[in-house]
């Protein structure tokens, strides 16, 4: 059984995520194979660009239901950037687009008076203990690129908070599902540590 499947649904360059796992000596592969995704011990759902185009790509490959089925079966899933946003019920980007609805909440745009997108390094305040943070200090910096942020309805799902004009959820988790708004594969040693934590 391959350890981690990074789901390739035609959006973005995913090799950097694969290489980040490889740097931790973790067996991971970028794949669009249903068989690989069904057999993987863990899944990574990446996402780059607009929410609607990511959801459309996921649906066109038939991976939306597959992801939900694997989550329901208890398989650990990590959503990255727009991949985290897709875990929620809907996004207001370019009108309203439905997400996977795995977590309750919606995706909203940053205020107009802020420089959008937020691009660069920002810190995360850990508000709950979680295995993703093992060996990572509070207020560590990670690399962000996004114009929209998640508003979870259940505050217990928020495990990390970031400040950009207001405080928003930058790390979420519930049961076997987690999401990070930043790019761990671009966040140097701290990001690699978080990916290693997910692998463990």
Catalytic residues, by residue number, are 81, 183, 185
- Reference 176, options 36, 79, 62, 47; nearest CA is 79
3 state SS of 43: strand
Q: Residue 80 forms beta bridges with which residues?
A: 180
Q: Residue 31 forms beta bridges with which residues?
A: 7
Q: How far, in Å, CA of 152 to CA of 28, rounded?
A: 29
3 state SS of 170: strand
Q: How far, in Å, CA of 190 to CA of 184, rounded?
A: 8
Identify whether the C-beta of residue 30 lies closer than 8 Å to the C-beta of residue 194: no
Phi and psi of 113, rounded to 5°?
-80, 0
Q: How far, in Å, CA of 154 to CA of 136, rounded?
A: 24
Q: Where are the beta strands (DSSP E) in 92-193?
A: 97-98, 105-109, 118-126, 140-146, 148-152, 158-164, 166-174, 177-180
Q: How far, in Å, CA of 46 to CA of 80, rounded?
A: 5
């Amino acid at each position: 059984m391959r350890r981690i499947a990074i789901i390739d649904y035609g959006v973005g360059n995913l090799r950097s995520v694969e290489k980040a796992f490889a740097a931790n000596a973790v067996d991971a592969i970028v794949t669009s194979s249903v068989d690989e995704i069904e057999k993987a011990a863990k899944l990574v759902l990446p996402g780059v660009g607009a929410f609607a185009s990511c959801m459309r790509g996921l649906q066109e490959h038939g991976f939306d239901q597959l992801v939900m089925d694997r989550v329901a079966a208890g398989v650990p899933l990590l959503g990255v950037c727009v991949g985290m946003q897709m875990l929620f019920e809907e996004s207001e980007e370019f009108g309203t687009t439905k997400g996977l609805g795995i977590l309750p909440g919606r995706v909203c745009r940053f205020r107009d008076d802020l420089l959008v997108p937020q691009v660069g390094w920002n810190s995360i305040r850990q508000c709950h203990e979680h295995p993703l943070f093992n060996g990572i200090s509070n207020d560590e910096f990670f690399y962000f690129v996004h114009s929209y942020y998640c508003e979870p309805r259940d505050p217990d799902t928020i495990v990390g908070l970031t400040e950009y004009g207001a405080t928003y959820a930058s790390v979420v988790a519930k049961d076997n599902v987690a999401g990070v708004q930043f790019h761990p594969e671009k966040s140097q040693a701290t990001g690699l540590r978080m990916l290693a934590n997910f692998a463990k």
